[in-house]
Structure 1
Amino acid sequence: MKITIAYIEEPPFGWTGHDGLPTGADVELAEVVLRAIGYTQIHCQRVTFEELLPGAAGGRWNMNVPIFITTERSETVDFSAPVWAAGDGFVVAADNPKGLDSYAAVARREDARLGVIPGTVQQASALEAGVRDTQIFPFARQDEAIEALLVGRIDAYAATALGNRAIADRVGHDRVAAVANVAGASAPLGAFSFSKNNTVLRDAVNAELHRYLGSADHRQRMATYGFTNDEIDPVLTR
């Protein structure tokens, strides 16, 4: 059985390793679940964030790696059971000279410039908190946003707090810092997504997720990517 899943460059959730092969927590979880339900040939296709929803909905591939569940996105694709909870945060320069630790802090400073990936929940949260359109700088890929931060074109990059910790580890804590969004609400949930015509695959994935999530093997695998019980336990009661 063959299947194609789409992933994006967003460590520790997913990225392309030095060997050219896809890796990451979401990629590994997908492979474990899909092999358990009988898929023997799993192809991972790297795409941009903006391609994820239309690609899955249009049948260009079978399944997306997890992204945040929203009502708007649910109109385009079907989501699996949630697989993690992840709150927001920023990557900033190591000394964080403008003191940016929340979307409200960005909104209070007209000179603060926030990098986002268009269409993400972080962009929506920033706008809801009063950040001006003129303060928001869009980037197609995470690496482009981090490069802009390093050269001073933006003051902060908004993504998941978990992912931002991985960025800081990779880039160096002497250059950047990961700052949790202190004004954030409860962490939103992420899940795999599928075409609305692909209910058979969705239901099979869900059945395996309900069996596997929270197991010792699952926790051990996710821990290697920096996931803690804080990211895992909120999805186990759903």
Structure 2
Amino acid sequence: MKIRVAYIEEPPFYGTGEDGAPTGADIELAEVVLRAIGVSAIEYQLTSFGEFLSGVQEGGWDMNVPIFATAERARHVAFSVPVWTLGDGFIVRRGNPKALTSYVAVAARSDARLGLIPGQIQFDAAKSAGVSDSQIVTFSDQPEAIAALLAGKVDAFAATAVGNRAAASANEALEAVAHEANKVGRAPVGAFSFSKSNHSLLRAVNDELRKYLGSADHRARMEKYGITHTEIDGVVAGSDS
């Protein structure tokens, strides 16, 4: 059985390694789970965030690497059980010259420019916090946004705190700023996604995830990428629901 899996460039979750092969925490999780359910060949498809949902819907591939599971996205695709829970943060130039520590802080400074990827949950979070359209600069992916940040075209780029730490560690001119943890409601969770008609693959993946998530092997593999109990424990308790 061959399964086609789509991914984008967003380390440490997924990306293309120096050898040209896909790599990252969620790539490794996909490998473990799919091999465990009997998949003999995995074919990876590099795509853009904007094509993720439509691509799996239309049969371009069988499965997407984990993205945030939202009610709006669930109208179009079927999500697996959650595999991580992540807070937001910014990548800024070292020293954080405009003291941008939250979306509210960006909204309070009319001279602040925030880089965002349309369709990602950070876009809605920024708008909800009062960040104006004139403050937002949109990009197609993380590498493009980081290049703009280094060039001074934006003052911060919003993404997951874990991903930002990985990106900032690769460039001494940058630093990551984690937002304060959300104290109200459940933190955003991420999950694999599938076509709503692909019931058998979804069911098999969910069965294996329920057994594997939170195991010693799972935790050890994720820790290599900077994903710790903070990002795992919040979903393990609910993985059997």
Q: How would you bin the TM-score normalised by the shorter chain?
A: over 0.9
3-state DSSP of counterpart to 2:170:
helix
3-state DSSP of counterpart to 1:43:
strand
Q: 2:127 maps to what in 1?
A: 127
Percentage identity across paired residues of the two chains: 60
Is 1:212 matched with 2:209?
no
3-state DSSP of counterpart to 1:27:
helix
Deviation of the 1:184 alpha carbon: 4.1
Deviation of the 1:90 alpha carbon: 0.1
CA offset digits 1:59-110 (Å, max 9, x no partner): 1100000000100000000000000011000000101111000000000011
3-state DSSP of counterpart to 1:149:
helix
Letter in 2 for 1:114: L
Letter in 1 for 2:6: A
What is the rounded CA distance, in whole Å, between the counterparts of 2:237 and 2:26 in structure 1? 20
Letter in 2 for 1:179: V
Structure 1 segments (4+ residues) deviating >2 Å: 182-187
What is the rounded CA distance, in whole Å, between the counterparts of 2:182 and 2:81 in structure 1? 23
Q: 2:175 maps to what in 1?
A: 177
What is the rounded CA distance, in whole Å, between the counterparts of 2:73 and 2:146 in structure 1? 26
Unaligned ranges ≥5, structure 2: none
What is the rounded CA distance, in whole Å, between the counterparts of 1:215 and 1:113 in structure 2? 41
Residues 61-100 of structure 1 aligned to structure 2 (within 5 Å): 61-100=61-100
TM-score (norm 2): 0.96
Deviation of the 1:147 alpha carbon: 0.5
Do the aligned residues in 1 keep the contact of 2:87 with 2:181 (CA within 8 Å)?
A: no
Q: 2:140 maps to what in 1?
A: 140
CA offset digits 1:96-137 (Å, max 9, x no partner): 111000000000011100001110000000000000011111
Give the direction of change, closer, same or farther, for the CA distance of 1:183–1:203 in structure 2 (3 Å limit): closer
Do the aligned residues in 2 keep the contact of 1:93 with 1:177 (CA within 8 Å)?
A: yes
What is the rounded CA distance, in whole Å, between the counterparts of 1:22 and 1:56 in structure 2? 18
3-state DSSP of counterpart to 1:171:
coil
Letter in 2 for 1:4: R
Give the direction of change, closer, same or farther, for the CA distance of 1:13–1:213 in structure 2 (3 Å limit): same
Letter in 1 for 2:101: D
Deviation of the 1:182 alpha carbon: 2.4
Deviation of the 1:183 alpha carbon: 6.5
Unaligned ranges ≥5, structure 1: none
What is the rounded CA distance, in whole Å, between the counterparts of 1:52 and 1:195 in structure 2? 11
Do the aligned residues in 2 keep the contact of 1:122 with 1:158 (CA within 8 Å)?
A: yes
What is the rounded CA distance, in whole Å, between the counterparts of 2:46 and 2:162 in structure 1? 21
Deviation of the 1:220 alpha carbon: 0.4
What is the rounded CA distance, in whole Å, between the counterparts of 1:82 and 1:120 in structure 2? 17
Q: 1:7 maps to what in 2?
A: 7
CA offset digits 1:119-176 (Å, max 9, x no partner): 000000000000001111110011010010001000000000000000111122xx11
Residues 187-202 of structure 1 aligned to structure 2 (within 5 Å): 187-202=187-202
Is 1:51 matched with 2:41?
no
Q: 2:117 maps to what in 1?
A: 117
RMSD of aligned C-alpha atoms?
0.9
Q: 2:166 maps to what in 1?
A: 166
What is the rounded CA distance, in whole Å, between the counterparts of 2:30 and 2:81 in structure 1? 13
